[in-house]
């Protein structure tokens, strides 16, 4: 009902409607309310790792909880698909108290957590709460190892493609994908060296834009390797775009072949489709109250 914060329950436990719904209108003791408050409910969060006590009767099986999302996804298909696309993204979960591991994030310009989300289409496979003083890609390999392993155990022939923005364009993740036979399409942050590689195309895009009165756009295939961080050369697709406001170059790096996705297809038809994931994150944060972290402490 939207009352997901435990401190809400100190007032809700006095509400007769909630007492009716819980089937408990009379308290057992005169100094207590009929319905449970936060001190009872937070035992789920504060359970001991080993053993139980009279005050900790609710135990959390974290592994089973993580596997459940993938099991529900797998069960929703009557037949294994030939190919699935996993979308990864990190976003901010604003903090308004003094929660543990509370850090200021420069990009989001606020104190927040930095949860990792993994979706396949409309279905959530992972929602991992993380501190904000980390790289956005941190921990993604561990989550993908678990998810991909669970998927392949049920669907051994399925083709898996990862899609994410430049925050996930990391050597470790790309090398892991290549070793696992998993394809990827990641945004690649632009810089001077990359931009020079499509300099002629940008000039042509500017000329076209002036001719037709709006943006001009060309695409260029590159074989690219960073000077220090990448272990090998990889396929990069550069978008040379010029709008009325100036140059707007964009780049992606992918393991998909030119024969399968040529020209503008890997960028326009495949990478840009990841924008739909933003709606899935909004549904989690707004419709399911995932961004409400207003308690004074974790």
Domains assigned to the chain = 1-60 (no CATH), 62-287 (3.90.350.10)
C-alpha span between 158 and 22 (Å, rounded): 45
Q: What rounded mean pLDDT belongs to the chain?
A: 89
Model confidence at 298, in pLDDT bands (50, 70, 90)? very low
Q: pTM for the complete prediction? A: 0.83
Report the alpha-carbon angle 186-192-196, nearest 5.
95
Phi, psi of 236 (to 5 degrees): -125, 135
Query: What's residue 58's pLDDT?
Result: 65
Please give the structure tokens belonging to residue 44.
Answer: 């789920």
pLDDT digits (tens, 9 = 90+) for 32-91: 888 887 777 776 666 555 555 666 666 778 899 999 999 999 999 999 999 999 999 999
Positive or negative, the CA dihedral 118, 122, 125, 131 is: positive
DSSP bridge partners of 186: 164, 253
pLDDT digits (tens, 9 = 90+) for 170-204: 999 999 999 999 999 999 999 999 999 999 999 99
Q: Which residues contact 84 (CB under 8 A, 6 or more apart)?
A: 120, 151, 158, 159, 160, 161
Q: Which residues contact 79 (CB under 8 A, 6 or more apart)?
A: none
């Amino acid at each position: 009902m939207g009352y997901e914060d435990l401190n809400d329950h100190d007032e809700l436990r006095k509400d007769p409607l909630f007492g009716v719904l819980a089937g408990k209108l009379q308290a057992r003791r005169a100094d207590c309310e009929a319905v449970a408050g936060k001190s009872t409910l937070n035992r789920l969060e504060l359970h001991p790792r080993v053993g139980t006590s009279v005050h900790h009767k609710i135990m959390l099986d974290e592994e089973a909880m993580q596997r459940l999302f993938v099991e529900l996804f797998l069960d929703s298909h009557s037949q294994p698909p030939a190919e699935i696309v996993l979308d990864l993204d990190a976003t901010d979960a604003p903090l308004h108290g003094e929660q543990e591991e509370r850090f200021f994030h420069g990009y989001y310009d606020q104190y927040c957590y930095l949860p990792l989300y993994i979706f396949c289409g409309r279905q959530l496979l992972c929602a991992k709460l993380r501190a904000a003083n980390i790289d956005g890609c941190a921990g993604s390999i561990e989550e993908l190892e678990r998810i991909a392993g669970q998927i392949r155990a049920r669907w051994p022939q399925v083709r898996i493609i990862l899609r994410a923005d430049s925050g996930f364009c990391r050597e470790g993740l790309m090398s892991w994908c290549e070793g696992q036979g998993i394809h990827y399409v990641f945004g690649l942050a632009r810089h001077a060296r990359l931009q020079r590689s499509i300099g002629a195309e940008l000039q042509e895009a500017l000329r076209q834009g002036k001719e037709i009165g709006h943006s001009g756009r060309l695409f260029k295939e590159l074989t690219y390797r960073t000077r220090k961080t990448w272990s090998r050369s990889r396929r990069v697709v550069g978008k040379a775009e010029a709008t009325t406001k100036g140059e707007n170059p964009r780049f992606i790096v992918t393991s998909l072949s030119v024969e399968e996705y040529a020209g503008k297809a890997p960028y326009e038809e495949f990478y840009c489709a990841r924008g739909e994931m933003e709606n899935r994150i909004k549904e989690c944060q707004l419709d399911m109250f995932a961004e409400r972290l207003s308690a004074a402490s974790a």
